[in-house]
Structure 1
Amino acid sequence: MELYFGENGDQRIRGDFIRRAVLRSDLVPIPLTLEAEIRAGTETAEHFEVGRSITTYDGDELEIIKSEFIQQARMQADDLAGYVRLIAILKPVVEVAFVKPRAVIKRGATLTEVYRACGATLRGIEGDFAVPRFACLAGEAHTYHIARALQEAGGVVRWRHGRLAFIPLPALFDQEPVDTIVNTASDDVESGFLERHDIPWFYSVDADGQFVYGNRGKPRAARFQPGVNEVTLRHMTGCLVLTKNTRLKYTQKIAAGDLIEVVGGEPLVAMTVATLFAPGADGDAPEQFTRVWLGRLEP
């Protein structure tokens, strides 16, 4: 895994200085995160303080939101040797992660405008759409309300090639597969009992006081959602259900939202992709692999 630091993001962190790094890609409002432990001295640790940036090989800049310097016993001259344990998230959307003292209320704004109102610095969002209503009160997390707007629109956001894109859930399965796995070489995760309790169907009331129903095709728990139409109610039931997880050889070519062909089964979408790089810099056993959590569409 190639990581860079410095003012211009052009100073490479040597591989033997990385004790452990996990780059995680998700289909969530903040779609890219990094957890890492990097060897450093008391002087070089300042490059990995909160607010500094780390850049990936693909050019994605992540801002450090948590940093802890762990001192170790050995010393090099007057410099205490140790390592920095840090968490970083995608810089263009870093402000979205913070609770704000002011409310953000929008009506008919695009998803890009909603992100920007929450503090993001995105250039734009591919597949942008109008959010009928967005209300995040003071002291609440923006990410929850953005995720809610995405659910009502029947899609997810993904980060790919330096851009954020909105993709409807069915469109995820219309892509060309980027990789193939064998059905028997992965772990199955399935529970219809839990699905019926965790994925409810929704109903509402229209302006005339008549009930409006979402997807009632399966016996599930029911939830009331005020002020939405039938299309939105159906979108709210649709989701990706975790079906498999599999361990692949180390790769950074797969990201959340990619379609994976399953030999002997139906194609599945990568919901979360976590790439681990641990070269065994301090004498530990080296580990380098990619774990993928795969889901099917529950309409």
Structure 2
Amino acid sequence: MRLMLPDGQIIGNDRLISNILRFDSTPVVANLEFQCSLTPELDQALQEGSIVYVGDKYIEFTIIKRAGVSAGFVRDGQQIKVGAYIAVLSGCEKLIQPAAKAILLKNSSIGAAFRASGNKIKVAEDVPIMQYFCAVGATPTYELARKFREEAAVTFLNQEGRIIVKRLSNILEGEPKLTVREGDVNWVGNPAELIHDVPNYISVNADGSTIEGTLNSGAKTGFYPNMDARRLRNLKTVLVTRGTLMRAYMPNLMAGDVVQVGESRRLVVLTAVHRSDSGVLGGPTVSATKLWLAEVVTV
């Protein structure tokens, strides 16, 4: 994977030790972790708030955390200094910071909630919401995730670098980006975890007397205030990880892509991780892609 600085300087494999590019179905749709050996000039260029461009499409990331360490390696009589960095997709930085002011939207959309919370990335597809509130000091990612649950929706980044918001009922639309055999997938199954992590919900309606939702025997139940029947049903619709898939390095695969498994089963990429290790410090050279595959489940 190629990393480039705003001045056009390429962090080549003679400097880049490892990098992990992650596309996810969360409000912060992409992030980057990388390590490189530093020169004084490169160390100055890679500070918190600095920009790095990734890949052939020059996706822009902003460094939010850095750590400099002296590795136990010597080259040309000098000890090598290594920098470790975490960066998020540029335009998403404010989503992970406590809100400086309260935000209240009514009869709006998730895309508008993104923008009001500080997101600067264009939203290509959107889903309406009844209300969005983020208090002063609250972290917008948590409040946005709450709205995704209430509307049974998910978000991801498309190939053009825009945010897509889709309802789970439409997530498997489109042509598969990858076709694999069932034996290629490392299947996982944990019904007990599903019972505990995805509870049924009950709520008191706006009239203060009508109870919405049902109490199912053997299932975890929670109280969610001010919910109507539609949104309570949405809370029971979730993406559940069904398996993982390892492949050779395929950076074109992203969260939200559809994968055809066998002849009849379709799954969606919940998380796509692309890792590359250069071996510049003597370790093995590795380039691989790992996908977490999920399906829509209503409990």
TM-score by length of 1: 0.91
Pick one of 124, 132, 153 that aligns with 2:130: 132
The answer as to whether partners of 1:41 and 1:80 remain within 8 angstroms in 2 is no
SS in 2 for 1:92: coil
Residue 5 of structure 2 aligns to which amino acid in structure 1?
F
Aligned to 2:3: 3
Asked whether the equivalents of residues 37 and 86 of structure 1 are also in contact (C-alpha less than 8 Å), the reply is yes
Partner of 2:28: 30
User: Which amino acid in 1 is paired with 2:212?
Assistant: V
1:177 aligns with 2:176: yes
Distance 2:39 2:181 in 1: 45
- How many angstroms does 1:280 deviate by? 0.8
Query: Does the aligned pair in 2 maintain the 1:101–1:139 contact within 8 Å?
Result: yes
Residue in 2 aligned with 1:107? 106
CA contact (8 A) 2:127 2:166 kept: no
- Counterpart of 1:13 (choices 6, 11, 16) is 11
Q: Are the equivalent residues in 2 in contact too, given 1:244–1:293 (CA < 8 A)? A: yes
CA distance in 2 between counterparts of 1:44 and 1:195 reads 46
List, as ranges, runs of 4+ consecutive aligned residues in structure 1 with deviation greater than 4 Å.
216-219
Match of 2:281 in 1: 282
Indicate the larger mover: 65-74 or 221-230: 65-74
Q: Deviations over 1:3-32 (max 9, x none)?
A: 11125xx33221232100000000000010
Stretch moving more, 67-76 or 196-205: 67-76
- Over 3 Å counting, the alpha-carbon distance change for 1:218 and 1:237 in structure 2 is farther
Q: Which residue does the alignment assign to 1:53?
A: 51
Structure 2: segments with no counterpart, 5+ residues = none
2: distance between equivalents of 1:212 and 1:183?
Answer: 40
Q: CA shift at 1:217, angstroms?
A: 8.0
State the alpha-carbon separation in 2 of the partners of residues 102 and 13 from structure 1: 38
Q: For residues 213-224 of structure 1, what are the structure 2 equivalents within 5 Å?
A: 213=213, 219-224=218-223
Counterpart Cα distance in 2 of 1:21 and 1:88: 11
The residue identity in structure 2 corresponding to 1:5 is L
**C-alpha distance 147-291 of structure 1, shift in aligned 2 (>3 A):** same
Greater Cα offset, 254-263 or 110-119: 110-119
Where do 5+ consecutive residues of structure 1 fail to align? none
Tell me the secondary structure at the aligned position of residue 265 of structure 2. Answer: coil
Greater mean alpha carbon deviation, residues 229-238 or residues 104-113: 104-113
Deviation at 1:162, TM superposition (A): 1.0
Name 1:141's counterpart in structure 2.
139
Which among 129, 151, 156 is matched to residue 158 of structure 1? Answer: 156
Shifted more, 195-204 versus 130-139: the winner is 130-139
1:192 CA displacement? 1.2
Deviation at 1:186, TM superposition (A): 2.3
Q: Which residue of 2 aligns with 1:195?
A: 194
The CA distance in 1 between the partners of 2:267 and 2:128, in whole Å, is 28
- 1:39–1:83 contact (8 Å) kept in structure 2: yes
Percentage identity across paired residues of the two chains:
22
Matching residue's letter, 2:65? K
Distance in 2 between residues matched to 1:60 and 1:82, nearest whole Å: 27
Asked if residue 235 in structure 1 is aligned to residue 243 in structure 2, the reply is: no
Q: Is the 8 A contact 2:103 2:135 kept in 1?
A: yes
The normalised TM-score by structure 2 is 0.91
2:269 is aligned with 1:293: no
Q: Deviations over 1:152-200 (max 9, x none)?
A: 1111111012100101112111221110222122211111122112111
| C-alpha distance in 2 between matches for 1:16 and 1:260 | 35
Q: Which residue of 2 aligns with 1:43?
A: 41
The 8 Å contact of residues 99 and 134 in structure 2, kept in 1 or not, is answered as: no
Q: Which amino acid aligns with 1:115?
A: F
Q: Would the aligned equivalents of 1:6 and 1:47 in 2 still touch at CA under 8 Å?
A: no
**Alignment correspondent of 1:87:** 86
Q: Distance in 1 between the 2:105 and 2:293 partners?
A: 34
Counterpart CA distance in 1 for 2:239 and 2:273 is: 18
Q: 1:183·1:265 contact (CA, 8 Å) conserved in 2?
A: no
* Shift, 1:140, TM fit: 1.9
Is the contact between residue 98 and residue 142 of structure 1 (CA under 8 Å) also seen in structure 2?
yes
Amino acid at match of 1:105: L
Letter in 2 for 1:88: A
C-alpha contact 1:41 1:83 (8 A) present in aligned 2: no
Q: Give the letter aligned to residue 54 of structure 1.
A: V
